[in-house]
Chains A and B, each alone.
Chain A
Amino acid sequence: MSEGALPKRDAVLRVDDLQKSFGGLAATDHASFAVERGTITGLIGPNGAGKSTLFNLISGFYEPDGGTVEVNGIDVTGMEPYQVADHGLIRTFQTPRKLEGMTVREAMLVGPRNQPGESFIKLFATPGAVGESESANLAEAERILEEFEIDHLATQPATDISGGQMKLVELARAMLAEPEVLLLDEPVAGVNPTLAKKLKDQIRRLNEQGTTFLLIEHDMEFVMDVADPIVVLDQGHVLTEGTPEGVRSDDRVIDAYLGGGT
């Protein structure tokens, strides 16, 4: 399926003609695609294809040179990351970030957006409301930790858990931010097969419950299994997009991504 050919029914994320250059290098070169609500969309491409740059552009970490990003029909181009997040787009990072001096439970509680206790004034002016919201968030965090089967980690220092467990915690924490679309940057990179399967199951379960995903992943088996549709990026532009089967048999993808061998 060629670029823009997907039916644009209900795109929760729409990227249109996005451009970004570093010096003379076009890292994102007129990229356009849409993520339909309720899908798990995969974003693949060879090393240096511009996947991470695209993630940074979408989530507001980079300012694009041209083009637009829409979340839920609202133009978020050029907004700060926290403003993009406020519109329902949450992202994770390739390297799990561990929070110093926090337990896993506390690290989870950074997730919920717009907590009353995050206002210095309200902290002292309305301690009751802050306490109530904190209790509610804590209960929700416990519930999600249980759903992810990592509730036994709750009181562990967040710096003390394995990389794979951290990926699970990241995903769990992102869910506390109640995303409409969740961008996952290599969710199973460096994760052992057991945890990778757990992550896959969780992504599927959350998707069934209504969360839309856009994920970058190098593990082809993983991405072909979990994602549909798949967007293929090469040299900063969208090479093609379509079903896993369609992408797998596309000669251009084989040329660009699989080196023409498989």
Chain B
Amino acid sequence: MSLLSDPKGAVADLTRPEAWVLGVSVAFMLFLLGALLTGALGPTYFLFLVGLAGMYALLSFGLNAQWGFTGLINFSVAAFFGIGAYGSALMTASGSPIAGGFNPIVGLVVALVAAFVLALLIGIPTLRLRADYLAIASLGLAEVVRLIVLNERWLTNGSAGLRGIPSFFKGWPVLSTFPETMPGIRLVVIPGSPVILETAFWQASLNVLLVLAFAGAAYFVLRRAHQSPWGRVLRTIRSDEDLARALGKNTYSFKMQSFILGSLIMALAGVFYTHLNLYVGPGDLDPITTFYAWVAVILGGSGSNRGALFGGIVIVTIREGTRFLNDVALPIDPAPLRLLLIGVVIVAVMRYRPQGILPPQRELIWPSAVDGGGTPDTPESGVREQKGGGSDE
């Protein structure tokens, strides 16, 4: 049922968690709108946050394609993100020690090719083995990539990072000069709190357009792939790889495809980040990015694309929202609160809704399966159990 053709029916058709998510999202949007109109939240900064949310959604989509679909444990999300960011920055930045000055499209292609090759190289020795080996190898990979970026100054500029990165739309007709050609606008909705839209705002709008295009394309591809016979094989592998093998599926090949697809989407997030932040440094490859992506996927519901999107937005809200706590007199420094809050959210989700907020079953081909009641909720205690256990509602 489409939300556009029959909004009432679509709302009535929602499950309780879906309705809850919808309600919270609407309330959150109203809150943001209020903050925008009263000038508490700058419109350009708001668009930057939307861009970040899109970036985290992409990272979560990528991890979801690996862990959520196939059960592959990848702890090197930050490495693939970094490959995307550095691949594109090294090609386009004026401060690049090796190339630089290329069109951002060239940077995009180079970043994706680099991520493809890296995924292949790490996948070949590990994907024939048990899931644990990929987990261990990917942990090592993340650290190796980070240390190379930090220490190989001739290649990456080391700890100084890369500056002089152009906007993604540099060299494009119309769009490259769009921010400058747009007139400055001064909106007064609430007297005394004018909202000013200038060049930076229009530049940020373009970034949002870009991340929407990336995330939209990734979502479309993943949604179709997840529901398809291809995705069905991945879901079978996640539940029981031996069964898939016995039924004639080349599980090694399927796992490789899933791993590469996810890695490419993570690299796409990196490419976007490069052109959003206009600076990349070794700090962007810190393991915290991997941690955030895992939290987003588990929170949203492993295997669920909508859940990954939701999880990505929650992460950015917590990450950036805590900055505003600086304005409130608190007895403690608010910065560490981020991790504490995320920890609390994860504990609460694991305790009360181990399958995640928006588990994937509603996205499947025959949703009539859930209308009949669905499986009972089974609390999960750990990764291994979660991999094999009944976690979908």
Asked whether A61 lies within 8 Å of B239 as measured between CB atoms, the reply is no
Q: Which of A62-121 contact B (CB under 8 A)?
A: 80-82, 85-86, 90-93, 97-103, 105-106, 109-111, 113-120
Q: Given A80-B250, A91-B246, are A97 and B240 also a contact pair (CB < 8 Å)?
A: yes
Which B residues are CB-close (under 8 A) to A113? 247-248
Which interface residue of A61, A82, A93 has the most chain B CB atoms within 10 A? A82
Distance A177 CA – B247 CA, assembled complex (angstroms): 7
Q: Which of B169-226 contact A (CB under 8 A)?
A: 221, 224-225
Q: Given A110-B244, A156-B372, A177-B248, are A100 and B392 also a contact pair (CB < 8 Å)?
A: yes
Q: Which of B15-46 contact A (CB under 8 A)?
A: none
Contact partner of A123 among B230, B239, B242, B369, CB < 8 A? B230
Check: A124 CB closer than 8 A to any chain B CB. Answer: yes
Check: B306 CB closer than 8 A to any chain A CB. Answer: no
Q: Given A110-B232, A110-B236, A130-B229, are A103 and B247 also a contact pair (CB < 8 Å)?
A: no
Distance A98 CA – B251 CA, assembled complex (angstroms): 18
Distance A86 CA – B228 CA, assembled complex (angstroms): 21
Check: A126 CB closer than 8 A to any chain B CB. Answer: no
Asked whether A102 lies within 8 Å of B364 as measured between CB atoms, the reply is yes
Which A residues are CB-close (under 8 A) to B225? 120, 123
Which A residues are CB-close (under 8 A) to B230? 117-120, 123
Asked whether B233 lies within 8 Å of A155 as measured between CB atoms, the reply is no
Closest to B258 in A: A120
Distance A105 CA – B359 CA, assembled complex (angstroms): 19
Q: Which of B309-364 contact A (CB under 8 A)?
A: 359-361, 364
Check: A149 CB closer than 8 A to any chain B CB. Answer: no
Check: B154 CB closer than 8 A to any chain A CB. Answer: no
Contact partner of A90 among B224, B247, B364, CB < 8 A? B247
Which B residues are CB-close (under 8 A) to A156? 369, 372
Q: Closest Cβ of chain A: how far from B17's Cβ, in Å? A: 15
Asked whether B229 lies within 8 Å of A117 as measured between CB atoms, the reply is yes
Asked whether B239 lies within 8 Å of A99 as measured between CB atoms, the reply is yes
Q: Given A61-B245, A110-B233, are A100 and B224 also a contact pair (CB < 8 Å)?
A: no
Which B residues are CB-close (under 8 A) to A97? 239-240, 242-243
Which interface residue of B246, B250, B374, B392 has the most chain A CB atoms within 10 A? B246
Check: A211 CB closer than 8 A to any chain B CB. Answer: no
Distance A82 CA – B107 CA, assembled complex (angstroms): 39
Asked whether B374 lies within 8 Å of A157 as measured between CB atoms, the reply is yes
Q: Closest Cβ of chain A: how far from B81's Cβ, in Å? A: 22
Q: Closest Cβ of chain A: how far from B197's Cβ, in Å? A: 38
Asked whether A109 lies within 8 Å of B372 as measured between CB atoms, the reply is no
Check: B255 CB closer than 8 A to any chain A CB. Answer: no
Asked whether A106 lies within 8 Å of B249 as measured between CB atoms, the reply is no
Interface string of B85-125 (1 = CB under 8 A from A): 00000000000000000000000000000000000000000
Check: A134 CB closer than 8 A to any chain B CB. Answer: yes
Check: B391 CB closer than 8 A to any chain A CB. Answer: yes
Q: Closest Cβ of chain A: how far from B219's Cβ, in Å? A: 14
Q: Given A82-B250, A86-B248, are A115 and B372 also a contact pair (CB < 8 Å)?
A: no
Q: Closest Cβ of chain B: how far from A56's Cβ, in Å? A: 10
Asked whether A155 lies within 8 Å of B368 as measured between CB atoms, the reply is yes
Which interface residue of A61, A117, A118, A156 has the most chain B CB atoms within 10 A? A118
Which A residues are CB-close (under 8 A) to B372? 155-156
Closest to B128 in A: A80
Closest to A137 in B: B229
Which B residues are CB-close (under 8 A) to A91? 246
Q: Closest Cβ of chain B: how far from A118's Cβ, in Å? A: 5
Asked whether B369 lies within 8 Å of A92 as measured between CB atoms, the reply is no
Distance A118 CA – B247 CA, assembled complex (angstroms): 13
Asked whether A81 lies within 8 Å of B246 as measured between CB atoms, the reply is yes
Check: A59 CB closer than 8 A to any chain B CB. Answer: yes
Distance A173 CA – B360 CA, assembled complex (angstroms): 23
Which B residues are CB-close (under 8 A) to A90? 246-248
Distance A163 CA – B111 CA, assembled complex (angstroms): 49
Contact partner of A101 among B243, B246, B303, CB < 8 A? B303
Which A residues are CB-close (under 8 A) to B146? none
Asked whether A118 lies within 8 Å of B233 as measured between CB atoms, the reply is yes
Distance A41 CA – B364 CA, assembled complex (angstroms): 39
Asked whether A117 lies within 8 Å of B246 as measured between CB atoms, the reply is no
Check: A160 CB closer than 8 A to any chain B CB. Answer: yes
Check: B126 CB closer than 8 A to any chain A CB. Answer: no
Contact partner of B365 among A81, A99, A100, A106, CB < 8 A? A106
Distance A86 CA – B232 CA, assembled complex (angstroms): 19
Check: B375 CB closer than 8 A to any chain A CB. Answer: yes
Contact partner of B375 among A109, A117, A160, CB < 8 A? A160
A-B contact pairs, 11 of them (CB 8 A): A61-B242, A80-B250, A85-B247, A97-B240, A101-B392, A106-B364, A117-B229, A118-B230, A124-B221, A155-B369, A156-B372
Residue numbers of B with Cβ under 8 A of A are 221, 224-225, 228-230, 232-233, 235-236, 238-240, 242-252, 257, 261, 303, 359-361, 364-366, 368-370, 372, 374-375, 388-392
The 6 A-B residue pairs whose C-beta atoms are closest, nearest first, are A117-B229, A85-B248, A81-B245, A103-B369, A97-B240, A101-B392
Residue numbers of A with Cβ under 8 A of B are 59-61, 80-82, 85-86, 90-93, 97-103, 105-106, 109-111, 113-120, 123-124, 130, 134, 155-157, 159-160, 173-174, 177
Q: A85-B248, A113-B248 are in contact. List 19 more A-B contacts (CB 8 A).
A: A80-B250, A81-B245, A90-B246, A90-B247, A93-B242, A100-B235, A100-B238, A100-B388, A101-B235, A101-B303, A101-B359, A106-B365, A110-B236, A110-B243, A120-B225, A120-B257, A123-B225, A156-B372, A160-B374
